[in-house]
Structure 1
C-alpha cells in the first residue's frame, strides 16, 4: 500500500500506509492524527482538513477543483500556494511517499 507522512505543526511526523482511493483526510481521522478535523466528513464543505503539501510533491498533485479552491479561501490558518484540502486528495500509487504538513489551527 502507498504511504503518506503527516507532519504536525510542531514538526512531529507520522507515516501511515493507506489503501488506494482513501483520502488523506480519511486516513488521518481513522488513525487519530491530530491537526486534521474533517468536520464535513470529506464533502468539501468546511476546510477543517486544510493541509500544506510538501513542496517536493506540489507538481505531482491532481488539479484542484473550483469548489476546493473556494473552500481554501476560508481556512483558519494562512492559505499558501501549497494549500490543499486533504479530503480532496485520494491516495494513489503515484502519490506513494507524499508528505503533508498540518497548519497551526483548523476550524
Structure 2
C-alpha cells in the first residue's frame, strides 16, 4: 500500500514529444522527480486517454483482464493511513525479553 512517507517532491516540469511503442504524444507535460524506480511513470491522466493499456511482464501465467475500472484502485493514488501496530492488544499486554540461544547445526 502506498504511504505518503514514501512520496517524492516534484523538482521540475518539462514539456516533451513522447513516442511510446509507435504512439506519438505531442507537448506532453511531465513532472520531474528524483530517484524514480523507472524512467517514466504513466499517470492516470495519461492512461484515461485510452480504452485500456496493456503492459507485458513476461510471467508464465495468462493475462488478467479487468473490465470495470471502478473495482480496482491498484494504479490509483491512495490516501489510506497505515494500520497502527499492535492496535488490537489490550493495555495489560507487556513485551517479554528472552535470551537468544545459540544453536549449532551439523550436517
Greater fraction of residues in helix: 1
Q: Work out whether the TM-score is over 0.5.
A: no
TM-score range, shorter chain: under 0.3
Q: So what's the TM-score if we normalise by structure 2? A: 0.25
Q: So what's the TM-score if we normalise by structure 1? A: 0.25
Which entry has the higher C-alpha Rg, 1 or 2?
Answer: 2
Which of 1 and 2 has higher RCO (CA within 8 Å, sep 6+)? 1
